[in-house]
Structure 1
Amino acid sequence: MFQGGFPKYLKDDVAIPVGLIPHKTSENVNVGVSQENIQYIQDNSVIQFPYRIYYTDISDEDIDNLSARQKMILHCIYSRSCDGFIRQKHLYSLLQTDYEDWAIPYIVKICDEYIVEILEMTYDILKEQDTERKKRFCLENISLFYKSYNRMSSYWNEYYRYRYRTFQHYIGSKLFRECLGYSKSMGHRK
């Protein structure tokens, strides 16, 4: 269920953190992962991972025992958690590493979500980084990226319009434009 979210050559590295994920689920949910999947193209390969996972968080002690690459994999997986605090914790940890390109789909996906604190944290970190790899990934997945932009826009309209009077000042808008390379012309290229 998680192997498809990473390149095949990482099979052994993926198996180790996946084996540490507790089988206990949060919020009285009976399944560990959602049926809905996210699917992107990266380097001419399909990358697919669950929209949400419902497993409880892994202990910091278990994380400390993983290699740097295995930690990145784990942080990617938990960036899909149903718990926003867990998503933010793992995304923050991922963004603090010298993450590899295969982590980019997870970073981009979380940028279209509704928790403004996660968007603010992501923007604050990414605006200080070279984002060319992320921009290339977004162009490679332009149709999905455009849908993500529209999703982020609808969250602004529904939840944050009172706080950010103009869409251009909304943190999600700034994140998409400045860090992920969104431009109005993309709508015509999808």
Structure 2
Amino acid sequence: MLQYGFPISLRDDVMEVIRLLPKKTYHNLSNELLETIEYIQDDYVVNIPYRLYFKDNSDQYIDNLTEQQKMILHCIYSRNCDGYVRQKHLHSLLLMDYEEWAIPYIVKICDEYIIEILEMTYVILKEQDTEKIKRFCMENIEGFCKSYNRMISYWNEFYRDRYNNFHQYIGRKLFRECFGYSRSLERRKK
């Protein structure tokens, strides 16, 4: 299932990384029959898992992986059920010269409820050229607009009291400045 979150050309590297993932999961939850999120990227359908439950044992073998395999590993663990694991691997991914195929993982994690991940992502991406990310978001307008609205709902539920001016909220800044969201996108949805 995890191999469908990456281009076919990466299949051998993806399978090598999957082979290293632990069998032990948090709360003995299964990673089978996963809910996925579908994106289009360069006319290729990408299905990334909504959540994974692998324990993070990557420190044991990451130094032995190629750069591409490390990137794959960071993408996979960015979908982990543990927010600290997601943040750790997203941070590592953002500091790499990440490939375009990693972009769906970066965008997806930013519609979630952990503000520290939004803050970290914004601090790193605001210093980068994010045109490739913006292009990906435009290619997936409907899903991207859902992600933006989901980010707003988490702000409303958890952070509205602390950040009462939504225009200054880090999630809004990230989506607008780094991902290219604008209100006009809502009208362009199919």
TM-score of the superposed pair, with normalisation by structure 1:
0.97
Contact in 2 for aligned 1:126/1:179 (Cα 8 Å): yes
Task: Give the drift of 1:32.
Answer: 2.2
The equivalent of 1:4 in structure 2 is 4
Contact in 2 for aligned 1:152/1:172 (Cα 8 Å): yes
Q: Aligned Cα RMSD in Å?
A: 0.9
State how far apart, in whole Å, the 1-side matches of 2:35 and 2:67 are: 29
Contact in 2 for aligned 1:34/1:51 (Cα 8 Å): no
The equivalent of 1:129 in structure 2 is 128
Structure 1 gap segments, 5+ residues each: none
Structure 2 gap segments, 5+ residues each: none
- What do the CA deviations read for 1:99-122 (whole angstroms, capped 9, x no partner)? 000000000001100000000000
Q: 1:142-161 alignment to 2 at 5 Å? A: 142-161=141-160
State how far apart, in whole Å, the 2-side matches of 1:88 and 1:94 are: 10
Contact in 2 for aligned 1:34/1:50 (Cα 8 Å): no
Task: Give the drift of 1:34.
Answer: 6.1
Q: Which runs of 4+ in 1 moved over 6 A?
A: none
The equivalent of 2:13 in structure 1 is 13
CA gap of 1:77–1:149, structure 2 versus 1, over 3 A, is same
Aligned residue pairs: how many? 189
TM-score of the superposed pair, with normalisation by structure 2:
0.97
The equivalent of 2:50 in structure 1 is 51
The equivalent of 1:95 in structure 2 is 94
Tell me, what secondary structure is at the counterpart of 1:9? helix
